[in-house]
Amino acid sequence: MILSKSFRMSLDIKMSTEEIIEKVIAGEIKLHTIDKYVSPKEAVAVRRSAIAQLTDTGLDNIGSFTIDETQATARNIENMIGAVQVPLGIAGPIIINGEYAIGNFSLPMATTEGALVASTNRGCSVITASGGAEVRIFNDGMTRAPVYLARNASHAKDFINWINENFEILQAKAAQTTRFGELLDVLPFVVGNNIYLRFRFDTKDAMGMNMATIASEAISEYITQQCDIQLVSLSGNMCTDKKPSAINNIMGRGKTVVADVVIPGEVVILKLKTHPDNMVEVNYRKNLLGSARAGSMGFNAQAANIIAALYLACGQDAAHVVEASSAITTMDLTKEGNLYCSVTLSAIQVGTVGGGTGLATQKECLRMLGVAGSGQPPGTNATKLAEIIASAVLAGEISLIGAQAAGHLARAHKQLGRG
């Protein structure tokens, strides 16, 4: 393969790709500088060939993909050599009765865990037979929390008073950095002479971490110009981003979502092969008592499984599974002997624009759910996606607790050939 003419002319380079590969292997050209010599598509192939030789590994499968290299290397990844494929399955349809997600939905799930799609599919069938999942958003806002250093406690108190008095100015500073984002509120936390300001933003259809960070930087620049205060770090871990935390569980981050359903007793018996009271007991002793005894921050059976599969399929930041999976599952008997089931997810961070949502395969999954791109009005697509994910988690919880109540968990894995 010869270098593209445009790059040869612009850089006056007379090397073939084979020569570039040799220089990469010899350490004369670094992986991240290859893009200076060839087009993004060629750079991916050159890196892959060099790595194949350096590691003595055939990379033919990694080199087979449909992703647009130019787009991916510009927005999503560095030193790209190809793509890793994750099998994609479909669960559902599931009836969802949300404020934004209304109707029947088929759920795209990317996973390598056998039985996961089948389990979720069974939960979808149970929910649909029960009239659908009711789902609502109770809190919505992306956070970033810089840490500042004051001289002492008195100085810290004066600083917080100034923040409260000048909130509208801080809002205006944030607004200058984005067309869509809005600073909603600021919550201060103090440890000695350290002040953490937890900024919370409305980021519309974007997941919003970048938007929140850029706005927080602009606010912090203004703060340090106006106040005798030191900005230590733009993130002080009170956000809290990509880490399990009590603050996210209590106050929420991203979207706080609750999904629930009342399953008729006969549906439990017919579809789950167990009884409502058995599922209530399993949920209580497993998800609640067992999780509490273990010191878990999540009180659920498999929320992370479903969230991860949908996140990967729909171009979300997979690391946010950490926060999203700190969910609480409840199951109770109704007076009529039916089964009430709910999941509460305090920190679902999702977007339908930006990040991995622009990749072709992920965009197709978003289109399948009717949430690709910006909603009308802005923010409605991301909210709809959060409602869909919460409903899917509910389906997964119902299915797994049902299987354990019926003693079918191991049998299901054996039947599906999962080692």
Return d(Cα 212, Cα 203) in angstroms, integer: 8
Return d(Cα 90, Cα 106) in angstroms, integer: 6
Return d(Cα 342, Cα 240) in angstroms, integer: 25
Half-sphere exposure of 251 (CA within 13 A, CB side): 18
Whether 113 is catalytic: yes
Return d(Cα 30, Cα 33) in angstroms, integer: 5
Which residue of the set 19, 22, 113, 332 is catalytic?
113
Across 142-173, b (16+ Cβ under 10 Å) vs e yields bbbbbbbebeeeebbeebbeebeebeeebbeb
CB 412 within 8 A of CB 122: no
Return d(Cα 276, Cα 274) in angstroms, integer: 7
Return d(Cα 342, Cα 397) in angstroms, integer: 9
Alpha-carbon torsion (292, 296, 298, 303), positive or negative: negative
**Sequence-distant (≥ 6) Cβ neighbours of residue 263 within 8 angstroms:** 126, 127, 129, 130, 276, 338, 339, 340, 341, 398
Q: Cα 219 to the chain's mean position, in Å?
A: 26
Identify the three-state secondary structure at position 109: strand
Return d(Cα 253, Cα 349) in angstroms, integer: 7
CB 231 within 8 A of CB 224: yes
Whether 68 is catalytic: no
CB 314 within 8 A of CB 343: no
Distances (CA, A) of 290 to 113, 283, 406: 24, 9, 19
Which residue of the set 317, 332, 364, 408 is catalytic?
317
Which residue of the set 155, 275, 408, 413 is catalytic?
413
**Treating both helix axes as pointing N-terminal to C-terminal, what angle do 153-165 and 167-175 enclose, rounded to 10 degrees?**
70
Half-sphere exposure of 406 (CA within 13 A, CB side): 20
Beta-strand ranges (E) seen in 192-301 are 194-202, 230-233, 254-263
Whether 266 is catalytic: no
Any idea which residues carry the catalytic annotation? 113, 317, 413
